[in-house]
Structure 1
Amino acid sequence: EKQTPLALVHVELWYWWMAVWLLGNLARATFVGSSDHMWPFSYNQCDPKTRVSQEISACSQVNHFGLTSNRGRGAPEIDIIEAMQGDKEKLPNTNITRPYQSASLQLAPGVPRGRPILGKPPRKGHWYEGMQYSNRSTSRSELNPFFYGVTLVHEPKRYTYQADALSANLQLTSTFYEEQHIFRVEWEPPEEDGSGGYIKWYTDEVFIYGIDGANLNITGTEIPSEPMYLLMNTAVSKNWGFPMPCPEGCDCACFNCDDLDCMCGLPEGYCDNLPASFDIEYVRVYQAMTEDKHIQGCSPQKRPTALFIKGHEDRYKSKEQKYPLLPVEKGGASCNTDADCGGTTMGSCLLDGRCKCKEGHTGPTCLAHDGSYLKKWNTTIIRDTLPESKMHVPNS
């Protein structure tokens, strides 16, 4: 279970893509080489149709890198919140208007035929059924008809595969851009045979969306059981809240607030919103100590990842990087006052304008708890930071 209080960007017009999400450890966000044929698989059946598109397939009788034979693996995605900004106007086939929160589970393989048309509700029997939505008058959620997943095209064609998104939208009010709010997801992994499990989303302690393992029967996918890591980011995309189609007289060849020739494809007032921030007060992770399915670490015994990543390091880093994961820096960020370094209890700003962390705190600006635990898997010691921290996502 994860709980995250945050405030979204407070501006007159919003076109930022704020997101808090979980991704399976076998993929690294933005590194396509690591996610291709890995994201967002959550599938443990030996199916000739998906054997070549799912890199770690249940059909494999011999697996290397410490992986279990005949066990399908992948990197599913759980989106705690994706904030869609924009002017409040009637949208097709939904009572929800912008701005809204999307809560999603992304899985593969997806529904192969009879898929829903973007912007329209799915036909009965051709999409996932039985998901739970909030019917409260003040926090009503609905199926998201604007995102059903993506097709990942490859050559030859048999390597192409479909990823599905089971997504719900919740209306956001102006308070989400003025005050802190709490977003929470409860994730119960399935049994070892893939049955059961669930994911439930809450906003300000109010249930908004739920998916049970039985809802996934149409494709045979499972509620995720992979070790996953948390991402908190602000992104910009021409496919997220930007004018569609491109405005008349503009070729949308570039997007740049510093170049008049590249501003025509931007939303009206967009550049006036810079700089902007996405403020997160804290992240808390709760696990049941008596529940074997609530594992800790990035490479647990039943779902190891460490040796696979080590054997494919180039997929998980750029050419300039020496290692897939950078070390956590303890202090060193530029600062003007102690407040830039977490305040007097976390860190201080030295005369040279750099943060110095107090005992028990780490990170460039000293906002993270400096704690860890050691676990030994596959003769490799994996060091993990404790899953609780207080942080601020810097200005975009």
Structure 2
Amino acid sequence: MFAQLWQYLRSCFILYAFIADAISTNNLETVSGIGTWVDVATPMEKHSYVSSRGQFWELVMSDEFNDNISGEKRRFDAGYDHLWTSLEKPDGVNGALEVYSHNMTQVNCENDVCFLEIKVIEDVQNVTIFNQYLHPPSFTNITFFYRSAMLQTWNKFCFQGGMLEVKAQLPASMNEKSRNPDLARGPTAPVKELEFYPAWPGIWMMGNLGRAIFSASTQRMWPFSYNDCNEKVFNSSNQRISACDPNPGFGLHPNQGRGAPEIDLIEGGGSIVSSSIQVAPGMPKHYRRIEPDPKLEVGGDTSCKYSATCVTPGANQPNIPSQIYAQRKHKSWYEGLRYSSNNFCARDQKLKQDLRSILKSLSHSITENNCSVTTCPASNDIQSDLGFIDGDVHRGHWGVNSQGTCFSAINAYDGTHLCDPDNQDANCLNPRLPTTAPTNSMPSFNYQMDALSANWPIHVGGYTSFMTYQIEWVMGPNGYVRWMLENLPLFEIPASSVLNVPQDSDQSNPKKIMPEEPMYLILNVAVSGSWGATPPNVGRPCRGNGSDEKVNRICDGFPMYLKIDYIRLYQDLSNQSTMAVGCDPPTHPTHEWIESHIEEYEDYDNKLVQVQGGASCRDTNDCTAKLQNSHPVRTGTCTRRRCVCTSKYWGGPRCTTATYPAMKSSTLTQTFGPSLPIAVMVAMITLVATFLALLNSLFEKHKKCKK
């Protein structure tokens, strides 16, 4: 009996150690030491990274998409994957022509290399949707001509800062049937045959308070990165969670402006790829590029600004001609942006520049209404940084195309004006007419958003092979966002460009902050009728009437695929770092807000379902919590190379997160990061009660023996 008591006391000590660990942190380490979100297939030599500033960062998340080796197909619809969720939903933005579906994603393998693929196919569908922007709001029938996919880590995996690396091959009409002429030009040739690139791939991030293509969640939320309260500069009612609100509720911090900013690693297709941050509020009109005057443009076409062919003075690039913009008495647009080259393109001597000639041109007023190789930096941004890249004299200058290769340039798309359907402001895309009755379907809003964006020409090899796309995001006043291709810089936005915006005498330009919201990842392929890369016969099936031989060849290129070999995220884990992983961090909580507005983030076909376990594993040690005294508590097992939690009290990707499902208040109650006072109290009471009962039993037996 005393041996039994000793075993019980020993178990108590182990359980006590567990409780101490659970109190100190809800997410325990694994016995093996593998990170919570790290794929076990990531090579050890890829578990660290040295940033462009020379800092040592560590791997905190990866997905190698090697699942087919286990013989079990990976599913991404809600409730199955620990990291990703696919959507079953029509796309409703940017003139979309596609519906997103679960069955357009899978993990595939070719030549012993496994990868995620998002498939795009021709598929004519008639869908009935509710359109709040109709007068009155009503259901309407819309025809979509393509089917594709979108994957999100929304409300599962989010992060603040780090280096995201994605090895990808972009979709295009490239098979034997299409006979794409660009293939004959070789992998280093810049893309020329735009029609053969009808898809619009995206690898991007958004703040967790907005869920992509769920418009109710993004209204007055996207893409705010603003933490100021100054009604003279910006009407706070346009920002749903404003710094002017001392009592926002929902677990939010008083007087903290919040939103869902966007960072695009890559977006778009065809001959150019865009990399950008998108933030709000945007600059007022008198700080922006001059808009084309329909009276001056051929046929009244104001889209000339996208091809830099406008006649209107000042409408092609900001700050050119110099004299036109000087009349404002203040600077325009963002300053100090950094542009560089895609050196995987073949060189063209006609594009080659030298710094001395550019500086000489900029020292005089530019009188032309457009940039040229001899008058402007290669970026067409005369306010850009022309210093040495990373301060290294051997790497050349930002903004100067010294090698004559493909070069990043300022994007003609600089943002849009967002309004509710009842708004009559002239800046709205479709202001309500005075003769149209208001719908009162949503709160009023009317604000500009900005896209700080670079377009960079892509070579044919980006569509025929895998390339490594990277982005470094460092928060704070000394931070930056930097885009790279195979470790070579393409574009960089220093924090000073966002924080120190041009001002007039009234200080009327809103002062934004660098994005610092917890961001989630999005992978998708859209097909749009309103962007640079569009399919043939927009608004009709791809082939039209089938009479055009070239169009038929382009359409024979379907299905097209965005292929992802791997995704990896590195962060600075030093004590002074502000980088973090989590969708509900203490600095920027989101959980209570989402729970209280869940109808804005899900619909019948796209429910939010928490997934416990599911991370890749080699053995049970990858799915078992480690205690401070090194005694393992088997919280999960490794089954078919995936973690399976042993009980409902353990969750997280590796079953190392304490949960309390019995205390759920709704289907959304977060099982990551709850407090444990009740569980601890119950456990301690149970321990004491059991100990006293066992002790009493021993005394009773001792009395009987004496008798």
TM tier, smaller? 0.7 to 0.9
Tell me what 1:78 maps to. 263
Q: Check whether the contact 2:409–2:456 (CA below 8 A) recurs between aligned residues.
A: no
Tell me what 2:526 maps to. 235
> Separation in 2 of the partners of 1:231 and 1:28?
10
Tell me what 1:150 maps to. 416
Change (3 A) 1:308 1:127: same
Change (3 A) 1:255 1:283: same
- Per-residue CA deviation, residues 328-352 of structure 1 (Å, 9 max, x unaligned), is 8969xxxxxxxxxx9xx9xxxxxxx
| Post-superposition offset of 1:272 | 1.7
1:226 aligns with 2:492: no
Q: Check whether the contact 1:3–1:284 (CA below 8 A) recurs between aligned residues.
A: yes
Tell me what 2:250 maps to. 65
Indicate the larger mover: 145-154 or 207-216.
145-154
Indicate the larger mover: 269-278 or 40-49.
269-278
Higher relative CO (CA 8 A, sep ≥ 6), structure 1 or 2? 2
1:176 aligns with 2:479: no
Give the counterpart letter for 1:306 in structure 2.
H
Give the counterpart letter for 1:70 in structure 2.
N
| Post-superposition offset of 1:107 | 0.4
The structure 2 residue matched to 1:129, chosen from 316, 326, 335, is 335
1:5 aligns with 2:271: no
DSSP 3-state at the match of 1:33: helix
DSSP 3-state at the match of 2:511: coil
> Separation in 1 of the partners of 2:470 and 2:534?
31
The structure 2 residue matched to 1:106, chosen from 261, 278, 281, is 278
Tell me what 1:34 maps to. 217
Give the number of aligned pairs: 329
> Separation in 1 of the partners of 2:656 and 2:490?
34
| Post-superposition offset of 1:273 | 1.6
Percent sequence identity over matched residues? 31
Give the counterpart letter for 1:145 in structure 2.
N
What pairs with 1:1-396 in structure 2 (closer than 5 Å)?
Answer: 1-10=163-172, 11=174, 12=180, 13-48=196-231, 49-85=234-270, 99-114=271-286, 115-116=288-289, 117=291, 118-119=305-306, 120-123=316-319, 125-134=331-340, 135=400, 137=403, 140-154=406-420, 155-156=422-423, 157=425, 159-190=445-476, 195-216=477-498, 217-218=500-501, 219-241=510-532, 254-257=539-542, 260=544, 269-290=553-574, 291-321=576-606, 323-325=607-609, 327=611, 358-360=640-642, 371=654, 374=657, 381-383=670-672
Change (3 A) 1:81 1:306: same
| Post-superposition offset of 1:180 | 1.1
> Separation in 1 of the partners of 2:658 and 2:570?
19
Change (3 A) 1:261 1:371: farther
Give the counterpart letter for 1:105 in structure 2.
I
DSSP 3-state at the match of 1:277: strand
Give the counterpart letter for 2:564 in structure 1.
I
**Structure 1: where are the runs of 5+ without partners?**
86-98, 332-341, 346-356, 363-368, 385-396
Q: Check whether the contact 2:221–2:260 (CA below 8 A) recurs between aligned residues.
A: yes
- Per-residue CA deviation, residues 114-135 of structure 1 (Å, 9 max, x unaligned), is 3224332112622111101114
**Structure 2: where are the runs of 5+ without partners?**
1-162, 175-179, 181-195, 292-304, 307-315, 320-324, 326-330, 341-399, 426-443, 502-509, 620-638, 645-651, 674-707
Q: Check whether the contact 2:282–2:450 (CA below 8 A) recurs between aligned residues.
A: yes
- Per-residue CA deviation, residues 12-39 of structure 1 (Å, 9 max, x unaligned), is 2111101100100000000000011000
| Post-superposition offset of 1:296 | 1.1
DSSP 3-state at the match of 1:29: coil
Give the counterpart letter for 2:450 in structure 1.
D
Give the counterpart letter for 1:198 in structure 2.
Y
> Separation in 1 of the partners of 2:465 and 2:225?
36
Q: Check whether the contact 1:42–1:221 (CA below 8 A) recurs between aligned residues.
A: yes
Give the counterpart letter for 1:324 in structure 2.
L
DSSP 3-state at the match of 1:186: strand
> Separation in 1 of the partners of 2:658 and 2:412?
42
> Separation in 2 of the partners of 1:66 and 1:205?
40
Give the counterpart letter for 1:226 in structure 2.
E
Q: Check whether the contact 1:15–1:240 (CA below 8 A) recurs between aligned residues.
A: no
DSSP 3-state at the match of 1:324: coil
Q: Check whether the contact 2:273–2:455 (CA below 8 A) recurs between aligned residues.
A: yes
> Separation in 2 of the partners of 1:319 and 1:262?
38
Change (3 A) 1:237 1:373: farther
Give the counterpart letter for 2:243 in structure 1.
A
Change (3 A) 1:315 1:139: farther
Larger C-alpha radius of gyration, 1 or 2?
A: 2
DSSP 3-state at the match of 1:5: strand
Change (3 A) 1:139 1:170: farther
Give the counterpart letter for 2:455 in structure 1.
N
| Post-superposition offset of 1:232 | 1.1
> Separation in 1 of the partners of 2:236 and 2:336?
28
Change (3 A) 1:189 1:43: same
Q: Check whether the contact 2:220–2:239 (CA below 8 A) recurs between aligned residues.
A: yes
DSSP 3-state at the match of 1:281: strand
TM-score by length of 1: 0.74
Q: Check whether the contact 1:374–1:381 (CA below 8 A) recurs between aligned residues.
A: no
Change (3 A) 1:260 1:330: farther
| Post-superposition offset of 1:280 | 0.5
> Which has the larger share of helix?
2
Change (3 A) 1:275 1:140: closer
